[in-house]
């Protein structure tokens, strides 16, 4: 592939001055998405099953190791590049992009993000050795990682210690507890669990959060519960149980205490859930334009062929206005998103942090706004199950529910952090 050629499509993040590497990765994601993921998307949604075939394609294309450092055999993509590529995948299959985010984050947090977190020399050395093992699993064995944090309590909201505990034992850790909403349940080879170190003093403390990988084959680990949700059905986010699960010391994905520091140092780590939804917003917009132009056969969902009868709806001023509104919202989402990924870094300024929250909120709520307008303006036949719009509408509703930055909690943080400087109180 000639990486100097201009792109033949406008990426989900918009047209930016991409590097040659970014153009090449975006082209790869776009092609995979268009030819493989989009045709399969309805299948995972209908059956609420995991997109294994898409993961085989991601693995073959090298995209499971996108954020593994080059020195460890990965593609060494930085934060911004990952976010652009993820949006492109989200355009074609939301469930694939969202679960891929859980996997990629497991390599990005331990890779490029960990590089920006303060550690002692001893911690840095320990982390380098253990992360090499973990990168090796992805690079050499195509391993898939999940990121189960949620417990149904205030913990995933960042407001309480995790109830899942890890107790130090000879040679490793003994883990007990339960996680809910674990995307990739049953598909992942390793589950990167956040848990609280049980120091035996009955005083769990969020500063003692550990980030530990549990192999799917570990005795005492089990998966339970049904999965029949509104949207993002292919994520298969079921419950996990840990009953005296022993894992060796080397399963620690970060040294003790470093996750807590990382969450404070790198707020952009939580923004990685949003590109999936920027992709979905693009998909709803793209569909609307093609549908109103009469390029999609509403009976079959197939592209209208030359000579085939086609219903155009583009001549109605109300539909033109709706498309304009959708484009305005999409452009503002893209503008905030691309600014936020360009300035993502450890210890951002207050303005950068506010922009990050604003970008996250705009994408998560905006994606569903665009999907809602898309259905309203395309009309009754457009919401049938053989067309993608109703799936995009359901999938796009799910972004705002994701902790720690639900739409509500972002508003909460922005309001509070605008009106109060760190440490300020009213009493």
Ligand X SMILES: Cc1cc2nc3c(=O)[nH]c(=O)nc-3n(C[C@H](O)[C@H](O)[C@H](O)COP(=O)(O)OP(=O)(O)OC[C@H]3O[C@@H](n4cnc5c(N)ncnc54)[C@H](O)[C@@H]3O)c2cc1C
Binding residues for ligand X, rule: CB under 6 A, are 102, 147-150, 152, 154, 156-157, 181-183, 232, 235, 237, 398, 401-403, 406, 408-409, 412
Question: Is there a contact between 242 and 203 (Cβ–Cβ < 8 Å)?
Answer: no
| Minimum CB distance to ligand X, residue 9 (Å) | 27
Question: Is there a contact between 333 and 278 (Cβ–Cβ < 8 Å)?
Answer: yes
Query: Where is 190: in which H helix or E strand?
Result: strand 190-197
| Minimum CB distance to ligand X, residue 366 (Å) | 17
229 or 294: CB nearest ligand X: 229
The owner of tokens 């796009």 is 396
232 or 344: CB nearest ligand X: 232
- Tell which residue, 6, 140, 144, 22, has the closest CA to residue 72: 140
83 or 326: CB nearest ligand X: 83
| Minimum CB distance to ligand X, residue 107 (Å) | 15
**How does 45-67 read in b/e, with b if 16+ C-beta sit within 10 Å?**
beebbbbeebbebbbebebbbbb
Name the phi and psi angles at 306, rounded to 5.
Answer: -55, 135
| Minimum CB distance to ligand X, residue 409 (Å) | 5
CA distance 271 to 386: 32
374 or 398: CB nearest ligand X: 398
| Minimum CB distance to ligand X, residue 379 (Å) | 28
The owner of tokens 């049980």 is 198
229 or 301: CB nearest ligand X: 229
148 or 172: CB nearest ligand X: 148
What are 267's two structure tokens? 């707020």
147 or 362: CB nearest ligand X: 147
Question: Is there a contact between 194 and 209 (Cβ–Cβ < 8 Å)?
Answer: yes
Question: Is there a contact between 149 and 82 (Cβ–Cβ < 8 Å)?
Answer: no
Contacts of 300 (CB under 8 A, 6+ apart): 386
Question: Is there a contact between 282 and 370 (Cβ–Cβ < 8 Å)?
Answer: no
| Minimum CB distance to ligand X, residue 95 (Å) | 8
| Minimum CB distance to ligand X, residue 108 (Å) | 15
What are 325's two structure tokens? 């509104």
75 or 156: CB nearest ligand X: 156
Residue 195: burial class (beta carbons within 10 Å; 0-12, 13-18, 19+) = buried
326 or 409: CB nearest ligand X: 409
CA distance 192 to 262: 15
| Minimum CB distance to ligand X, residue 162 (Å) | 10
Name the phi and psi angles at 383, rounded to 5.
Answer: -95, 10
| Minimum CB distance to ligand X, residue 148 (Å) | 5
How many other CB atoms sit within 10 Å of the CB of residue 413? Answer: 19
């Amino acid at each position: 592939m000639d990486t100097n050629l201009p792109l033949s499509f406008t990426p989900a993040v918009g047209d930016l001055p991409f590097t040659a590497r970014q153009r090449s990765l975006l082209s790869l994601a776009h092609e995979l998405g268009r030819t493989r993921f989009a045709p399969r998307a309805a299948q995972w949604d209908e059956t609420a099953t995991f997109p294994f075939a898409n993961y085989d394609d991601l693995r073959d294309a090298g995209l499971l190791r996108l954020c593994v450092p080059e020195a460890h055999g990965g593609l060494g993509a930085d934060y911004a590049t990952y976010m652009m590529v993820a949006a492109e995948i989200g355009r074609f299959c939301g469930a694939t992009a969202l679960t891929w985010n859980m996997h990629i984050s497991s390599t990005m947090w331990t890779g490029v993000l960990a590089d920006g977190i303060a550690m002692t020399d001893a911690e840095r050395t320990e982390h380098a050795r253990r992360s090499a093992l973990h990168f090796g699993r992805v690079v050499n064995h195509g391993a898939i990682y999940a990121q189960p944090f949620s417990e149904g309590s205030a913990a995933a909201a960042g407001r309480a210690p995790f109830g899942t505990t890890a107790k130090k034992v000879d040679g490793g850790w003994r883990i007990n507890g339960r996680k809910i909403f674990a995307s990739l349940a049953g598909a992942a080879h390793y589950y990167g669990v956040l848990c609280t170190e049980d120091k035996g003093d009955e005083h769990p403390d969020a500063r003692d959060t550990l980030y530990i990988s549990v192999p799917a084959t570990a005795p005492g680990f089990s998966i339970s519960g049904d999965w029949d949700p509104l949207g993002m059905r292919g994520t298969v986010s079921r419950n996990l149980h840990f009953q005296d699960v022993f894992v060796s010391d080397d399963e620690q994905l970060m040294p003790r205490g470093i996750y807590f520091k990382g969450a404070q140092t790198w707020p952009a780590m939580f923004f990685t859930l949003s590109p999936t939804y920027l992709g979905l917003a693009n998909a709803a917009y793209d569909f609307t334009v093609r549908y109103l132009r009469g390029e999609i056969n509403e009976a079959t969902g197939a592209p209208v062929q030359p000579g085939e009868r086609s219903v155009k709806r583009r001549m109605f001023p109300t539909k033109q206005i709706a498309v304009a509104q959708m484009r305005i919202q999409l452009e503002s989402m893209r503008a905030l998103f691309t600014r936020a990924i360009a300035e993502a870094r450890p210890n951002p300024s207050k303005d950068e942090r506010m922009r990050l929250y604003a970008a996250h909120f705009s994408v998560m709520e905006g994606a569903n706004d665009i999907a809602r307008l898309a259905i309203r303006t395309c009309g009754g036949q457009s919401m049938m199950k053989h067309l993608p719009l109703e799936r995009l509408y359901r999938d796009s509703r799910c972004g705002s529910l994701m902790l720690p930055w639900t739409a509500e909690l972002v508003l909460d943080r922005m309001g509070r952090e605008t009106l109060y400087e760190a440490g300020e109180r009213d009493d």
